[in-house]
Amino acid sequence: MLNGLVVDYAGVLTDPDAAALFTAIEDLRDRGVRTALLSNAAGGGTARDRLGRWFDALVFSGEVGYVKPMPQIYLLTAEQLGLPATACVFVDDSRSNVDGAVKTGMVGVHHTAVAATLTELGALFPA
């Protein structure tokens, strides 16, 4: 059963239409889905304050010592959600990062457009 959503920041949540993604994340959280932000950024800085309300965990490469697509960063993120990797969906605009997540057992969604990502998330997390 899928009950975790892990989302990249730059390229996904910075998309011009990202407001719809934030709404979807809120809806999934209301339904009990655990959520995490996973970024290759050096650190969380002000992002923690700005984005914390949407996520149960915020993982930044510079703080944990691993970068996408290293398997350890996906496994660590799932662990912070209290879930196995196989219970998580990972969304990123980089195909290699999605492939890295899939190798750890996560379901991968390659983000190319908000509408397409929302369609995939709707199929993976049906109401």
With a cut of 90, say whether residue 127 has pLDDT above it: no
With a cut of 80, say whether residue 45 has pLDDT above it: no
Q: How confident is the model at residue 61 (pLDDT cuts 50, 70, 90)?
A: very high
Domain range summary for the chain, segments of one domain joined by +: 4-124
Per-residue pLDDT tens over the stretch 63-110: 999 999 999 999 999 999 999 999 999 999 999 999 999 999 999 999
Closest among 45, 68, 69, 70 to 58, alpha carbons compared: 45
Q: Distance between CA 12 and CA 2 in Å, rounded? A: 20
pLDDT above 90 coverage of the chain, percent? 90
What is the per-residue pLDDT for 88? 98
**The whole model's pTM is what?**
0.96
Element (H, E) at 12: none
Q: How confident is the model at residue 41 (pLDDT cuts 50, 70, 90)?
A: confident
Please count the CA atoms within 13 angstroms of the CA of 20 that sit on its side-chain side.
Answer: 12
For residue 50, the tally of other CB atoms under 10 A from its CB is: 10
Query: What is the DSSP code (8-state) at residue 23?
Result: H
Order across the sheet with 4-7: list the strands: 57-60, 34-39, 4-7, 88-92, 107-110
Q: Can you list the pairs that 108-111 forms with residues at least 24 positions away whose Cβ atoms lie under 8 Å?
A: 111/8, 111/11, 111/12, 111/15
CATH number for the domain formed by residue range(s) 4-124: 3.40.50.1000
